[in-house]
Amino acid sequence: MKHLLLAFLAGAVAACGFQPWNLWPLTLAAFAALLWLIGEAPRLRSALARGWWFGVGHFTLGLNWIATAFTYQAAMPAWLGWIAVVLLSLYLAIYPAVAAGIAWKYGRRHPLALVLWFAAAWIVTEWLRATLFTGFAWNPEGVALLDAAGLAGLARYVGTYGLSAVAMLAAGALLLAARRRWRSAAGLGVPLVAAALLLWPAAANEPAGSQPRLRIVQPNVGQQDRWRPGVPEAVLRRLGALSRAGMNEPRLLLWPESAIGEPLEDQRQHPAYQAEAAWARETVTQLLAPGDLLLAGGVTVRSADGRRATGATNSIFAIAGDGRLLARYDKAHLVPYGEYLPMRPLLSAVGLSRLAPGDLDFDPGPGPRTFDLPIVGRAGFQLCYEIIFSGEVVDRANRPDFLFNPSADSWFGAWGPPQHLAQARLRALEEGLPVLRSTPTGISAVIDADGRVAASIPMHRAAFLDARLPPPHPPTPFARYGNILPMLFALVLAAAAIAVGRKSR
């Protein structure tokens, strides 16, 4: 029992390396403690239990922001949010448990082999966590290394899941050094230090003057107010006022997810519905200058028969200054219980509902696409939650010049928005592409192609941010090959673990 409590506490400490605390050395120390606990386990069952309790502590603290989302709806009690956090953590903890079990099973006879097996297994289990049952990729361990000197630059070569393994190797080096296994510690630590020095981030370059001008608008309207009578109209007026203030030349305007409350497109053929959509488009057009390009979140009402609303899409619209709809991107990776209710007949019968208002479930779009637009050229879109999925954010056959990631982070308390921003930074670093974020309440930001925040609007402030669009980098190795690279890294680590194990025998 003592070891399980230690594992639980170590998991909670490891979560302190994520935003908003960003105490990444604690994450490494906590994983070093977990590796020690695994190595000391007398049986496979004990190793699995220690990994699982570590995961429970880790996810319960790191995902506490999910409970906040339940306070913005009336269909279910707010305390249910904490039950949801714990239940989700009990499930997610399976993945650290599996990694712990693999490390103990194959590496327990040699501490270095244990570390190598754990790092290899962590890549695979973290990828599985992001994939199975629609996936939940939030807070991969690699994101804790974003500000850890040059180590984050390894994401260009081994991706997020490979960077998570680097965190495990660094933790293993700490453990081996603490146990005075100097050669093994040096075998892990020296390559990591060398990589950090080689990839030490250079000074940020200002975007070239020829790059397009952009304005990110943050209206500062919280989720508790978003759907009150008259608020959507007031939000639109505020967005328009912030968009027009002090700018006379054509520019790219970026508004948050769900910025436009009324459907801009409606597949129902009734004249009243068509008139409402036309009115919404005209209202938005009046807020734009003739040469502007607006990228904004909105919805489309879908109809299978042209009469009844049978679904909707959570979308990003590209709207020209003259009112033309130039492009529409439909969110592909939807949030269970947020944008649709799984097993709706069963769960609705027991009183459960979506967290977001409305009776219609959203329909998924086709996935990453690149749109050729005026002013900015090739644009890629990832709507809110989608940006957290490593290797799934870009159309590799038609690489964009930047990614636009509007979001509605006002649901997620004090921890969710900075964690979301950190994961968007990691996508920029992996892909070598700038990422632009616009949110209702923050944190809105311009992220350059090295994953650095070039400019931002803090939380809970109504403001706009003027900047130049940062240029993209040439495709990184990860941008070319995706998650094949971290899987190859896992094979290399496993092969090294096997070699160490054989040598020790």
Q: What is the pTM of this model?
A: 0.93
More confident: 278 or 10: 10
Alpha-carbon gap, residue 140 to 433, rounded angstroms: 20
Is 290 a member of any domain? yes
pLDDT of residue 235: 80
Kindly report which listed range (102-111, 343-352, 396-405) carries the lowest average pLDDT score. Answer: 343-352
Catalytic residue among 16, 262, 265, 384: 384
Judge whether 16 counts as a catalytic residue.
Answer: no
Statement to judge: residues 54 and 13 lie in one domain: yes
CA distance 67 to 473: 38
487 and 452 together in one domain: no
Contact residues for 103 (Cβ-Cβ < 8 A; gap 6+): 35, 38, 47, 114, 115, 117, 118, 121
Domain membership flag for residue 473? no
What DSSP designation does 340 have? B
pLDDT in tens, 452-502: 999 999 999 999 999 999 999 999 999 999 999 999 999 999 999 999 878
DSSP result, 229-250: TTHHHHHHHHHHHHHHTT--S-
76 part of a folded domain: yes
Q: Which of 502, 503, 497 has the alpha carbon at shortest distance from 188? A: 497
Tens of pLDDT, residues 90-105:
999 999 999 999 999 9
Looking at the structure, do residues 316 and 187 belong to the same domain, yes or no? no
| Of 46, 64, 43, 55, nearest in space to 11 by CA | 55
Residue 41 lies in a domain: yes
The verdict on 186 and 79 lying in the same domain is yes
Within a domain: residue 19? yes
Strand pairing of 435-437 and 265-266?
unpaired
In the chain, the number of structural domains is 2
Q: Which of 331, 339, 386, 430 is catalytic?
A: 331
Both tokens of 326, joined, read 């130039």
Residue 207 lies in a domain: no
Claim to verify: residue 63 and residue 165 sit in the same structural domain? yes
Instruction: Name 292's Cβ contacts closer than 8 Å, sequence gap at least 6.
Output: 243, 250, 251, 252, 253, 320, 321
Considering the domain architecture, whether residues 307 and 268 belong to the same structural domain is answered as yes
Sign of CA dihedral 305, 309, 310, 315: positive
Which tens digits make up the pLDDT trace of 181-238? 999 899 898 988 888 888 877 667 767 677 899 999 999 887 666 666 666 777 888 8
Q: Which domain holds residue 53?
A: 2-202+483-504
Q: 103 and 236 share a domain? A: no
Clarify whether residues 217 and 198 are in a common domain.
Answer: no
CB 97 within 8 A of CB 51: yes
Please tell me which residue in 16, 126, 141, 257 is annotated as part of the active site: 257
Is 331 in the active site?
yes
Q: Within this chain, do residues 361 and 445 fall inside the same structural domain, yes or no?
A: yes
Q: Does residue 138 lie within any of the structural domains?
A: yes
The contacts of residue 504 (CB under 8 Å, 6+ apart) are: 109, 110, 113
How many other CB atoms are there within 10 angstroms of residue 224's CB atom?
11
Q: What is the pLDDT of residues 102-132, one digit of tens each?
A: 999 999 989 999 999 999 999 999 999 999 9
Any domain includes 191: yes
Output the six-digit token pair for 505: 């025998």
